Structures are given as structure tokens and as C-alpha cells.
Amino acid sequence: MNVRTICLAVLYEGEASGYEIRKQVVEGDYSYFVEASFGSIYPALAKLEEAGLVTARVEVQDGKPSKKIYAITATGRREFLDHLAEPMGEDQYRSEFLMFARFVTELPRELVAQRLDERSADIERKLTDMQHMLHKNSAAQDCWVMGFGRACLEAAKHYIDAHRAELVDIARSGDRAEAAE
Amino acid sequence: MNVRTICLAVLYEGEASGYEIRKQVVEGDYSYFVEASFGSIYPALAKLEEAGLVTARVEVQDGKPSKKIYAITATGRREFLDHLAEPMGEDQYRSEFLMFARFVTELPRELVAQRLDERSADIERKLTDMQHMLHKNSAAQDCWVMGFGRACLEAAKHYIDAHRAELVDIARSGDRAEAAE
DNA sequence: TCGCACATGTAACGTGTTACATGATTAG
DNA sequence: CTAATCATGTAACACGTTACATGTGCGA
């Protein structure tokens, strides 16, 4: 999913500036399944405006810098929905953690234990964050999406916790540290 | 995780040509959490050779084109393990499916039902594939990684199946098709 | 005979990230 | 006084994908 489409998605639900879109994408409900940074959002919005899929107006604020608020047009809405209706690509999962897991036999035991615990804690934190978000956001679809994310994260955490020992046991024992730096 | 590191990972477990690495990455056990294509693997291998992290030898075959078999060096192994021991980035999940789910209220009901069923079937297929791979591959770490993948996929499928109706119910009912093309 | 599997590589292209440039206000 | 938040934008750079170029042998 490219940044262009992500911008349309955010604007579909209401006006926003580039700054605000980025915030929603990085910190908000979208953050678990899409990605975008300033350097891609601003050019994308400029092109969307050029193409007539969004309109822009400048809002002067006192104290804060002026912002450029974008709103989606009818054409923009149609294009976005058309895109959603097209056959979807598969979800993709990219994991350094699993690569790490595949090579535990080559890595020191304490490091393996540490990383597994960190990962478990990271997931726990994400689950808590999600719970907070769920309270603010009450639209049924958003709850569904959060529920999906929660189900997957919980499964991952349970697996890591339940099978921690198996990996730690096959990791390199005490001898001098591999990969010391 | 960049292609360079992925190549080192595959070569860590044994010699391979660029073609074979790509096959393992696209069809093999790695396919669920990394990605790489020819256009990135061949240049990456050339650079790795230049840097002395792998060595290459050409093997002439009759009937088939000659292949260039790469092997990892001691330096390559060390560099790879050093990389694994460094703090890891978070796993990332990118999903067009969840974007679709967030906008079901704007999409025709039949399409929503169809996509949910497709997704459920896709996951089922992946789970079966994984089961086959698990039989070939018996190293404990590989089983652990597969088990992790299976746990997550199963959770996702269960969620989709159990909450299918909730999404379908809030999708656009019968009126003229949105996003017609 | 057509297309696929094997096999390597390059070039054009797209897309996105990081860092830089700029600047005011507010909270610690 | 310092860092963070608000706010927009550009340019250099990294990275990877897609398509192209090339060629053989095998099975349908």
C-alpha cells in the first residue's frame, strides 16, 4: 500500500494536514499495518492535489505555524474505493526476530533469553496501547481491526512465553561470547 | 532486514547459487518473514564477494547453464552473527486487508463477504504449506519458527471466521455498487 | 511447438527514508 | 536554556522491483 493511498484513507475520514496524517499513521490506529514518513507524505499530498483528488486550504494559527489542511474530493473518494475493491495483495510480515530465532544455536544463551523476554514485553506493551486506543475509538470496523491485531499479538506472546525454554536450551552455552563487540 | 543479510543467512547454512537463494527465500522456510528478488540478490552477492564475506566458484553443468556457487567465509559468519546480536528492529506487519476492513461500511456486502472468505482460505492454504515444510525440516529452531508462524496464522484465521458476520453486517447493503468499474 | 525450469545479470524506474533547512512557542 | 511539539518542504541517497537480454533442455 503506497503513501498516496494511505493519505486518501486518512482524509476519507476527515480533513487533515500532512503533519496530522503522519501522526495518525505513526501513532494512531493505522500504525499497526501501514507506514509513512514526512518525506513521502508531503510530496504525495502535492501530487494528489495536482490530480484533483484532494483540495488544500491554508489555516493561519497564532503561536503555531500555519498549516495546510487537505480535504478529499468526490473523485478522490471514488478512486480510493475503487482501489479497495480491487483484488488485494497478501499481507506481509517481516521479522528480524524470527531470523534471530533460526540462529539461536550460534548465539550465547543469555542473549537469547534476553531477546525473548524483550520481545514478550514489547508485545505486552503494544497490547496495552491497543487497549487504550480501543476505548477512544468506538466505530465497529475499528474495533474489528483492533480485535484482529490483538488476537495475533496475543497468539505471538503466548507462543513466545510457552516455548521460551525450548529456544534457550538449544542456544550456545557459557563458552566465550560469539559476536562480541 | 536487507538482502545482503538474507544472503549471508542462507549461505550460513550451506553453499548456494543466487538462483537457489532466491528459491529458498521465495518458496522456502524463509518466505514467511523475509523477501528478495533476483534483481537485488545478484548485485548483493557480487558486493559480498568483493567485501570478502563470501567466495564464489563456477560449476559447469551439462544440460543446464553453469552456476556460480557461493560459500560464506569466516569473516562472513562473524559479520552475520554480529548483526544478529545487535538490538533488533520491531517486526513489521503490513496489511491491505485491514485497510479494507476499516472501510467495509463503504463497500458492497457481497464483496466484503467474498474477501473475508478468500482471506480465510488463503491462510488455510499457508498453514497447510507450513505443515508440509515442517515435515522436511527437523531442526529444533526451524520447528520453533514454524510453530510461531502457525500460532499467529491460526489466531488470524480463527478471528476472521469467528467475527465474519460482524463485518458483513455493517457493510453496504444491496444498493447500487460502489466502486463499479 | 509452446512454455516452463534452470541460470545470470543489467538498467530503468519507482518509492521511500534520512537528513537538512527554517522557525515560533511552550514546558521542564 | 534546552528540548520537544508544531509545521512544511526539499534533496541526496538507499534500496528494491520490474522488465529486459540471453540461452539450453525438457515435458506436454
Question: DSSP for A51-100?
Answer: TTSEEEEEE--SSS--EEEEEE-HHHHHHHHHHHHSPPPPPEEE-HHHHH
The partner residue sitting opposite B141, judged by closest CB among A95, A97, A104, is A104
Contacts of A170 in chain B (CB under 8 A): 140-141
> Stretch B82-93: mean pLDDT, rounded?
92
Give the residue from chain A lying closest to B120, CA to CA: A90
> Stretch B116-134: mean pLDDT, rounded?
92
In whole angstroms, C27 C1' to A111 CA is 39
Alpha helices in chain A (DSSP H): 3-12, 18-27, 38-50, 74-85, 96-102, 109-136, 140-162, 164-170
**Strand order across the B67-72 sheet:** B16-17, B67-72, B54-59
| Cβ–Cβ under 8 Å, residues B47 and B4 | yes
What the block records as the C-alpha cell of A72 is 478529499
CA distance A132 to chain B (A): 18
CB within 8 Å: A99 and B34:
yes
Neighbours of B65 (CB within 10 A): 7
Q: What is the rounded distance in angstroms from the CA atom of residue A15 to the CA atom of residue B6?
A: 41
CB within 8 Å: A93 and B91:
yes
Of A60-69, A172-181, B131-140, the one with minimum mean pLDDT is A172-181
What the block records as the C-alpha cell of A70 is 487537505
- The pTM (predicted TM-score) of the whole model is 0.92
CA angle A84-A89-A90, nearest 5°? 125
**Chain D bases under 7 Å from protein CB?**
6-12, 15-20, 23-26
Give per-residue pLDDT as tens, B15-29.
999 999 999 999 888
Contacts of B97 in chain A (CB under 8 A): 88, 91
Give per-residue pLDDT as tens, B126-149.
999 898 888 876 799 999 999 999
Alpha helices in B137-179 (DSSP H): 140-162, 164-170
CB within 8 Å: A102 and B166:
no
In whole angstroms, C28 C1' to A97 CA is 37
Q: Cα–Cα distances in Å, from B176 out to B105, B106, B108, B116, B179?
A: 14, 12, 8, 21, 10
Give per-residue pLDDT as tens, A101-152.
999 999 999 999 999 999 999 999 999 989 888 887 679 999 999 999 999 9
- Nucleotide whose C1' lies closest to the alpha carbon of residue B65: C7
Q: What is the rounded distance in angstroms from the CA atom of residue B172 to the CA atom of residue B178?
A: 9
